[in-house]
Amino acid sequence: MADKQPKFESSLKKLEEVVKKLEAGDLPLDQSLKVFEEGVSLAQFCEKSLEEASGKVEKLMTDSEGKKKQVPL
């Protein structure tokens, strides 16, 4: 089954494109607002993805007693 959520990497790339469009400053106000809204949505998705990944890493690095442990990379 295909994952319906966008991947972090593609969302980050789209967010970078949004930033470039807004920095160019040549969009009309209404289009700028739409692009900005898209950027906010992408930023929220990326932040959530990073928080989830961080939580997984933290869980993997905690021993059975709940103490943090160092794991060689």
pLDDT digits (tens, 9 = 90+) for 7-30: 999 999 999 999 999 999 999 999
pLDDT band at 32 (very low <50, low <70, confident <90, very high): very high
Per-residue pLDDT reduced to its tens digit, 43-56: 999 999 999 888 88
Q: Report the C-alpha gap between 54 and 48 in whole angstroms.
A: 10
Nearest Cα residue to 61 out of 49, 51, 73: 73
